[in-house]
Structure 1
Amino acid sequence: MFATHNDVWAEPLAAPEGTDSYWSYHRWPAEVVGIVAFGAADAAPPVVVVKWSDGLLVALHAERGDIAWTTRVQTKDSDEYWGRRTGTRTVYGDETLFSLYSARSGSSPVVISSGDTKVDAFDPISGRQLWSVDLPTCHGVDWTGEQVFATILCSDGVHTIHLYDAGTGRPAGTWVPPWLSASSTSAERSWIRWLTACRTESSECQGFQVRREETWRIHADGSVAKEPVVSSDIDDRIAGDVVVRRTDGRLTGLRRDTGDQMWQIPLDSRRVIAADAGTVYLLTSANDLACVDGRTGTVRATVQLPGAGWNAYSMYVTDGFVVIERVNPDARERDGDRSYYYGSRPVVLATC
């Protein structure tokens, strides 16, 4: 799946440069602001749901590209296309459109759209609206847990997580850091969170981190519990029941429930690291993709990636597929796309 400002399209999985797309969908002047995908489930076909800057939500049959359903939703003032030439930040970043996919969450699939003051949830197959929640204007970042929708609201000047059941929209609880008090500073009241163990960037996240030493897990019922293993770095990754940590040239796997060390291996890696339910993915110093078994630390495979003189700007992992966005070594954010990205096809898709 690919996107630019006004287009969404699909290509064959291992398409060489110049291959025609399976299908494409174009709108103008509206811009693509969010994309989520749902695989086939039971008799339901795979679906791609696209959110546009004018508030149109369009569901496309993933295999054919024809429209399954459309509806209108509220947008955010910040809704615009952020993907530059490759579209990866928009396709995989899900900052305004979120999913719960039944294969992982154990519940019916749900697509959730977040606006400035309203959140709407739909059945991605039929387009039937499941629920709607009004939110105050002081409404911050959103994401989904494995069976809840989470949003940060400003309550009496304190950032507070509000949780809603993803299937019904019913309130499932609230949470603030336990160390906050009446004497907390303004900066402490405006605490920042980092998401952990997400299926995509902000969807189906098992938990979140506040400060660098506190990791919390959101359970299916909306309750929040502190993870037993203290994380000292936001670069820790969770691979199933293993916490993966990088320290002093080593990669270490720790039991998630006790913190006991399970394995340790030398780390020949650049900064980029990602994980899914059972595998840790490392970009080696030679720009090869090393796939490490999360439970044993064994390198299961090393995938040679094309080209050598590039850096990885981002790496996304979903269901065993790894997407790497490549930039030139001296690339700067303000550079134009021609000098910023590596080669004519800067996005690499790999699997172990």
Structure 2
Amino acid sequence: MGTARAGLRRLVSPRSWSRPVRFVLTGLLVLVVTAAMGITAYRTLKPAETVSRADKPVPSPEPIKAIQYSELASAPLIVEGRLRVYAEQWRVFADTPVTAQRINTPHWSYRRWPAEVVSMVEVEKPASGVGMSVVITKWSDGEIVALDAEKGDIVWQTKIEPADGESFKGRRTGAKAVWAPEDLFVSASAVDKQPVVIATGKDVVEGIDPVNGDVRWSRSFAAEPGCRTNDWTSGDAYFAKNTCAKPATLEIYDAASGAPLTTWRPPGASLGSDSVSNWFVEPTSCQLGRSGCALFKAAPTGDVVTYTDAASGVGNITPAYWSFGADHVVKPEPIADKDTVVVVGDVIAQEMTGGYIWAFSRATGKRMWMSEVAGKLIGADQRNVYVINREYQLLVLNLETGAVTSSTELRIRPADRFVFNLYYLHAGYLVIERLQSTKESEIDDRYYFSQDTVVLVGIG
């Protein structure tokens, strides 16, 4: 019996097998393992779309206080004062409440791979409360996906041909993708004020109904490829600079229908070198990124300097400010003559030399007030003008009088010192991406102020 067992052990022992047999069996084993790994990798890495919908209701908005609320690792959009929505390279997700000190477990999330998030905007439901708020995302493969802001469900999907090189440019925080998107804009109809989302792709632009994803209009610029990369929206129009025209031309279209409204060049625009014929234009006083811009500034040449540099003797050609009215006429804004200008209705506020804010009536040109405090002008709304002073405080100035009505400390710790490029004002909150340096070439650890580099405060 023992002899039989020993013989059996020799038979099943690999050492007893001939070399050719071991070679063949080893090869088969490698194939089996490789196939198993391939199946696992495919299941893990295959192109995928994953929705993790909300499993609990969203709380009601909290009363907003003029205080610091949180330090966050990512830059949020705020929806209805109830949700924060973030963008990562392959995922968008929401948490709640807005005032939470840190990013919470996702309320919902949506992931696509290998496509990357390129831009994100939100369209909130009307004041009537009918309908839903949607978060609209554009991806590097051209897919445009609208998500129910409350539940995370996919509301609609459409596609546009992506421009070359579209990718996630949000770095660590996602701020550029959500606060300064370059190919996804929000505007509205001049007639019924219904919102419209405008998406751009490879030499194409489309106006999309945010409620159902219907493409209301589409315009192809394929006959002049690569000529319209400088674009934005006003409250009811889409602007695109055509650099193939000589000299360049600003084309203005109705946001709701895509119909051409007018074309424009700054006075003095002429043929010449590229720096002359491709004259300078830039939107300003925008609601978010390059959406809802009340003004733009332009000059008949590309060789311009800031007003600050001109005052210091560095060049003398500064851009002039212009607006586009309901009569479809581009009009000068002669009062505006500083680097930072914001417009709300008839009020135009600008940051003067030294950081003091002056406000004027656009209709009469008369000065309405001059602030008693100095700082960086960052925005305005129907009630207030917002300034950040050198002591890292958010100052709230009354739009009609300039009186300081509140201040909020932006520093979490007294020793904090930071700079910033991007910030977000919405629904009674200010969110700032704090930086160590404004040089985008710096690595993240030298570029961002800290790991949780985004600070959120209430305006009250």
Cα shift at 1:169: 1.2
Matches within 5 A, 1:1-352: 1-12=85-96, 13-41=98-126, 42=128, 43-101=130-188, 107-135=193-221, 136-137=224-225, 138-182=227-271, 185-211=273-299, 212-229=318-335, 231-249=336-354, 250-269=356-375, 271=376, 273-305=378-410, 306-307=412-413, 308-328=416-436, 332-352=439-459
Q: Distance in 2 between matches of 1:63 and 1:120?
A: 26
Cα shift at 1:331: 6.4
Cα deviations across residues 88-139 of structure 1 (Å, max 9, x unaligned)? 111011210011257x995211111111211111111111111111113122
**Is the CA contact (8 Å cut-off) linking 2:270 and 2:276 kept in structure 1?**
no
**Is the CA contact (8 Å cut-off) linking 1:272 and 1:315 kept in structure 2?**
no
Give the number of the structure whose residues are more often helix, by fraction.
2
Q: 1:218 to 1:318 in 2, by over 3 A?
A: farther
TM-score, normalised to structure 2's length? 0.71
Q: Distance in 2 between matches of 1:263 and 1:105?
A: 34
Cα shift at 1:310: 2.1
Which structure is larger by alpha-carbon Rg, 1 or 2?
2
Q: Distance in 2 between matches of 1:35 and 1:155?
A: 29
Q: Distance in 2 between matches of 1:113 and 1:243?
A: 30
Q: Amino acid of the residue matched to residue 231 of structure 2?
A: D
Question: What is the number of equivalent residue pairs in this alignment?
Answer: 347
Cα deviations across residues 116-170 of structure 1 (Å, max 9, x unaligned)? 2111111111111111111131222111111111111125322211111111111
Q: Amino acid of the residue matched to residue 9 of structure 1?
A: F
Q: Distance in 1 between matches of 2:458 and 2:346?
A: 21
Cα deviations across residues 193-238 of structure 1 (Å, max 9, x unaligned)? 2212222111111221113351111123532111242x32232222
Tell me the SS of whatever aligns to 1:267. Answer: strand
**Is the CA contact (8 Å cut-off) linking 2:170 and 2:176 kept in structure 1?**
yes
Q: Distance in 2 between matches of 1:254 and 1:312?
A: 27
Q: Distance in 2 between matches of 1:125 and 1:143?
A: 21
Tell me the SS of whatever aligns to 2:269. Answer: coil
Q: 1:346 to 1:47 in 2, by over 3 A?
A: same
Give the number of the structure whose residues are more often strand, by fraction.
1
Runs of 4+ in 1 over 3 A off after TM superposition: 318-321
> Structure 1 unaligned runs (5+)?
none
**Is the CA contact (8 Å cut-off) linking 2:188 and 2:194 kept in structure 1?**
yes
**Is the CA contact (8 Å cut-off) linking 1:316 and 1:322 kept in structure 2?**
yes
Q: Amino acid of the residue matched to residue 431 of structure 2?
A: V
Q: 1:247 to 1:168 in 2, by over 3 A?
A: closer
Q: Amino acid of the residue matched to residue 386 of structure 2?
A: Y
Q: 1:279 to 1:193 in 2, by over 3 A?
A: farther
**Is the CA contact (8 Å cut-off) linking 1:101 and 1:108 kept in structure 2?**
yes
Aligned-pair RMSD on alpha carbons?
2.2
> Structure 2 unaligned runs (5+)?
1-84, 300-317
Q: 1:101 to 1:318 in 2, by over 3 A?
A: farther
**Is the CA contact (8 Å cut-off) linking 2:357 and 2:374 kept in structure 1?**
no
Q: Distance in 1 between matches of 2:319 and 2:281?
A: 12
Tell me the SS of whatever aligns to 2:371. Answer: strand
Q: 1:321 to 1:67 in 2, by over 3 A?
A: same
**Is the CA contact (8 Å cut-off) linking 1:268 and 1:284 kept in structure 2?**
yes
Say which is worse superposed, 45-54 or 132-141, in terms of deviation: 132-141
Q: Amino acid of the residue matched to residue 285 of structure 2?
A: A
**Is the CA contact (8 Å cut-off) linking 2:341 and 2:350 kept in structure 1?**
yes
Q: Distance in 2 between matches of 1:156 and 1:40?
A: 40
Tell me the SS of whatever aligns to 2:276. Answer: helix
Q: Amino acid of the residue matched to residue 254 of structure 1?
A: F
Cα shift at 1:38: 0.5
**Is the CA contact (8 Å cut-off) linking 2:228 and 2:243 kept in structure 1?**
yes
Q: Distance in 1 between matches of 2:191 and 2:176?
A: 24
**Is the CA contact (8 Å cut-off) linking 1:239 and 1:279 kept in structure 2?**
no
TM-score, normalised to structure 1's length? 0.91
Q: Distance in 1 between matches of 2:348 and 2:297?
A: 13
Cα shift at 1:37: 0.3
Cα shift at 1:179: 1.7
Q: Distance in 2 between matches of 1:99 and 1:191?
A: 26
